[in-house]
Amino acid sequence: MSHETATAMLPLFIATLVGSPLAAAAPIGLIEGASDGASSAVKSFSGYWTDKTGRRTHVMYLGYILTGVLIPAIGFATSWIQVLALRVAGWMGRGARGPPRDALMSESVTPETRGKAFGFQRAFDTIGATLGIAIAYLLIPHFPIPSIFFITVIPGIVSVVVVVTLVKGKSRIISSEHPNFRSAVKGLPRRFRLFLLGVGLFGMVNFSNTIFNLRALQILSPSLGQTGAADFAVLLLLVLNIVYATSSYPAGFLADRVSKRVLLSGGYVLFGLACVASVFEVPSIPILLTIFILAGLSTGVVDAVEGAYTADFLEPSQRGVGYGVLQTVNGVGDFVSSVLIGLLITLVSPLTGFGVFAALSVGAAALLLTLTR
């Protein structure tokens, strides 16, 4: 809730700092890209460190503290360079806390209930994100933009208090088999590395849901005007988040009862179907709803099942670095996919862009099914 409220305010804040929305495009792109890159860069090592030291919670605590304090501090910024520095540092904390959190979660439940656990976590993460966006829109008419950033410190600090006082690590045997980070990564099981190939291909296809939002804006603008289209596009994004939140736990519940590889591959195919629906230029509400519902279902299934499935490949002493590598692969894929789809849509056509990505989504599903047989 804390960082999604701040993220929703970021474009408007940068536009205010630089003078216009048009001038804000380049700084926002740099801030988002640098933040995601920094987050991905620390994930693998933070996971390895918790394997090496046997302590999951310390890195996780630090990550929550950095995010909870530095993101609200953006409200003090007087230039976009300062925003860049604070956002990158805050996102490094966000990246650092992810792998130990997932490893700790996998160790805190039985193998038979991992799907439910990861589905439950993703559901609440998305509920918080949805509430954060709603809070931003509710506060904009009543508070100056910097004040809204300051308000986000409240849920940020509450989350720190919760994890520090309530989340306790389990005693674990520290493995001395891999004395350094490189050795630990090379020591990951072959089946897990094959699994990462399928995940990596889908990662290079799984572009940001913002692209679907822009597609809706493009399709609806001729008939509704830019303002009306923007309002409806935001509503569709809210639908996506609601579907994401409500599908995560059922997907995780189902993952404990059926083949995770088949269910995860199905999530990839759902994303491909959303791409297929995005090919149509007709401003049809049913088609647009279908796109966002499919995208929400795909995200709910993939995020819940992928985390639970990862634990099946790894020994407990490898889960920190394993989750770190997984999240790094996904982070790099997110960057690549968004750049590629943008280039294809702009330089060729939406038909080509979404068509190619639909085919690659199905290809990623087939690759995952084959490599993890």
DSSP string, 47-113: HHHHHHHS-SHHHHHHHHHHHHHHTGGGGG-SSHHHHHHHHHHHHHHHHHHHHHHHHHHHHSS-GGG
* 263 close to 255: Cβ distance less than 8 angstroms: yes
pLDDT band of residue 233 (cuts 50, 70, 90) is confident
CA distance from start to end of the chain: 38
Reference 274, options 255, 254, 290; nearest CA is 290
Does residue 352 lie within any of the structural domains? yes
The least confident of 89-103, 165-179, 209-223, 245-259 is 165-179
Does residue 251 lie within any of the structural domains? yes
What is the reported pLDDT for 25?
57
Does residue 199 lie within any of the structural domains? yes
Does residue 178 lie within any of the structural domains? no
Percent of the chain with pLDDT over 90: 23
What is the reported pLDDT for 153?
92
Q: Please give the tally of structural domains in the chain.
A: 1
Question: What CATH number did the domain enclosing 311 receive?
Answer: 1.20.1250.20
Q: Which two tokens stand for residue 154?
A: 């409240």
Given a cut of 80, is residue 368 above it in pLDDT? yes
pLDDT band of residue 29 (cuts 50, 70, 90) is low
What is the reported pLDDT for 295?
93
Average pLDDT over residues 35-52: 78
Q: What is the pTM of this model?
A: 0.74
- Cα–Cα distances (Å) from 295 to 64, 98, 144, 270, in that order, read 28, 23, 34, 7
Reference 328, options 128, 98, 109; nearest CA is 98
Q: How far apart are CA 350 and CA 94, in angstroms?
A: 33
Within 8 A by CB and 6+ apart from 166, the residues are: none
Does residue 21 lie within any of the structural domains? yes
Average pLDDT over residues 243-270: 90
pLDDT band of residue 226 (cuts 50, 70, 90) is low
Given a cut of 70, is residue 198 above it in pLDDT? yes
Within 8 A by CB and 6+ apart from 278, the residues are: 212, 215, 291, 350, 354
* 333 close to 160: Cβ distance less than 8 angstroms: no
- Name which residue leads in pLDDT, 29 or 200: 200
What is the reported pLDDT for 21?
56
Question: In the predicted model, what is the mean pLDDT of the chain?
Answer: 84
The residue segments making up the domain with residue 30 are 2-166+184-371
Given a cut of 60, is residue 261 above it in pLDDT? yes
Does residue 173 lie within any of the structural domains? no
Does residue 171 lie within any of the structural domains? no
What residue type is 143 in one-letter code?
Answer: F
Does residue 114 lie within any of the structural domains? yes
